[in-house]
């Protein structure tokens, strides 16, 4: 649900459709990886056409592309860069693949509906050293609520756009 809200709000804020999002995928479910001792997650790749959709339609569309992205979140990074270079050359513009979504909530996270409640947005840190992707949203469980943490590179995505993104996600989920 939150990934769909992210896609819908991102389309509304940026005017880009479809939006390309890189969900963080735990790949430990694959045969042969259960015994691996390491951090085992990779950023998948999905494209969500979201413009003009009502939220129920957006949920269904996002669900379909997300399941495929989670299932096939294996790729060679060099080959992805080659593909990106080819698409950039074909389109004549550089595509941005630095929009991430990391839902770190525990099992059963999509079973309970998200109830509208009080929300708050606060900026907690700023830095001049570029160490963030253009846009990265983390979702975490918090006592009695959810916590969404947004990291951005202001050269790509302004703080005002980030605030509108968060408010847009809330509007979509709250209905």
Residue 19 has which token pair? 């939006």
Name the nearest CA neighbour of 69 among 91, 112, 101: 101
User: For the CA atoms of the chain, what is the radius of gyration?
Assistant: 17
Q: pLDDT 10s per residue in the chain (175 long)?
A: 899 999 999 999 999 999 999 998 876 666 676 676 766 677 888 889 999 999 999 999 999 998 888 877 777 778 888 988 998 999 898 887 889 999 988 776 665 556 667 788 888 777 776 666 889 999 998 877 888 999 888 888 899 999 999 999 999 988 7
Q: Rounded to an integer, what distance in angstroms lies between the CA atom of residue 29 and that of residue 36?
A: 11
Q: Tokens 């979201």 identify what position?
A: 50
For the chain, counts of helices (H) and of strands (E): 4, 6
């Amino acid at each position: 649900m939150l990934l769909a809200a992210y896609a819908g709000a991102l389309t509304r804020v940026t005017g880009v459709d479809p939006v390309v999002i890189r969900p963080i995928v735990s790949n430990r479910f694959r045969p042969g990886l259960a015994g691996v001792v390491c951090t085992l997650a990779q950023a998948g790749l999905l494209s969500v056409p979201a413009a003009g959709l009502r939220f129920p339609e957006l949920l269904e569309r996002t669900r379909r592309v997300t399941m495929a992205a989670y299932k096939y979140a294996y790729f060679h990074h060099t080959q992805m860069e080659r593909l990106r270079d080819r698409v950039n050359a074909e389109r004549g513009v550089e595509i941005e693949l630095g929009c991430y979504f990391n839902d770190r909530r525990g099992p059963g996270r999509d079973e309970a509906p998200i109830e509208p409640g009080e929300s708050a947005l606060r900026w907690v840190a700023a830095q001049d050293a570029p160490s963030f992707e253009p846009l990265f949203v983390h979702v975490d469980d918090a006592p009695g609520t959810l916590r969404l943490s947004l990291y951005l590179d202001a050269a790509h995505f302004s703080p005002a756009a980030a605030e509108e993104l968060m408010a847009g996600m809330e509007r979509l989920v709250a209905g």
